[in-house]
Structure 1
Amino acid sequence: MDTQLATTIFESLASGVRLDVYRLLVKNAPDGLVAGEIAAQLGLPPTNLSFHLKAMTYSGLINVTSEGRYQRYRANLTLMRDLIAYLTAECCTGHPQQCFESDSTADCCDTKPIPSSTQADS
């Protein structure tokens, strides 16, 4: 994955509606949902949903197939995994497996507790 594709994907998800749609489709993978089911579950008007589905299909985040007069939408899970790999490829100095081990996260990432401004000095 390159930076341009990652940027296109993030731009496509930079909407609360689109993020909700994508998460719903991931939840319903691999079967996906038809547009009417998506609209009903998220309480969206069909015309509004159609606009968002078109943008997400264009970016490659979702795939659409015709089933008679219905359109079935599915999350592109391969692209999602590729995006996650792109984001984590350089994690922990090129050893991303370390970033996902619960015990090594502190070793990998220089994390320090954020001081609370509400605590009184003793």
Structure 2
Amino acid sequence: MDINNALEALDAISQSTRLDIFRLLIRAGESGLAAGEIAEAIDGRQNTTSTNLSILARSGLIGAERDGRNVIYRANHAVIRDLIAFLLEDCCGGQPEICAPLLQSLSCLNTTSGACCDA
């Protein structure tokens, strides 16, 4: 990931509704959600939700796949990993013990419950 990709991704989630959608899709996991389900979950209008989904998709943070009459949206975990790696690339100025708690919390998250695996 380069700085322009990172800026586009961060810009995409810098608006509260888009951040809500992004987090909703993270929680939905591999099954993803249809656009209508997303609009309903965030109590949003279809056209506004569609615009926000387009912005998130252009950033690469989410992807879309047609399933019959529905478009299913899913979080793009590879891009999310790349963004986090880019942000932490030069972490801690050569003192890995400073970043260890952060890296541990990222590595042990249980995506179903959001709780740490060893908790």
Find the counterpart in structure 1 of residue 81 from structure 2: 81
Q: After the TM superposition, which parts of structure 1 deviate over 2 Å for at least 4 consecutive aligned residues?
A: 94-98
For 1:9-20, what aligned pairs fall within 5 Å after superposition? 9-20=9-20
Aligned residue for 2:8?
8
* Contiguous gaps of at least 5 residues in structure 1: 103-122
- Unaligned runs of at least 5 residues, structure 2: 103-119
In structure 2, relative to structure 1, the CA distance for the partners of 1:15 and 1:96 (3 Å cut) is farther
Distance in 2, matches of 1:43 and 1:14, equals 19
CA RMSD of superposed structures (Å): 1.6
1:95, CA displacement in angstroms? Answer: 5.6
Secondary structure in 1 matching 2:31: coil
Deviation by residue 1:21-58 (Cα, 9 ceiling, x = unmatched)? 00000001111100111111110111110111111111
- Paired residue secondary structure (2:30): coil
Contact 1:34 1:70 in 2 (8 A): yes
Give the corresponding residue for 1:109: none
1:44 matched to 2:59: no
SS at match of 2:4: helix
Alpha-carbon distance in structure 2 between the residues aligned to 1:97 and 1:59: 32
> TM-score w.r.t. structure 2 length?
0.79
Structure in which a larger fraction of residues adopt helix: 2
Match of 1:65 in 2: 65
Whether the 8 Å contact between 1:12 and 1:18 is mirrored in structure 2 is yes
Identity of aligned residues (%): 38
Residues 95 and 66 (structure 1), Cα distance of their counterparts in 2 relative to 1, 3 Å cut: farther
* Residue identity opposite 2:5 in structure 1: L
Q: Is the 8 A contact 1:64 1:74 kept in 2?
A: yes
Amino acid at match of 2:52: H
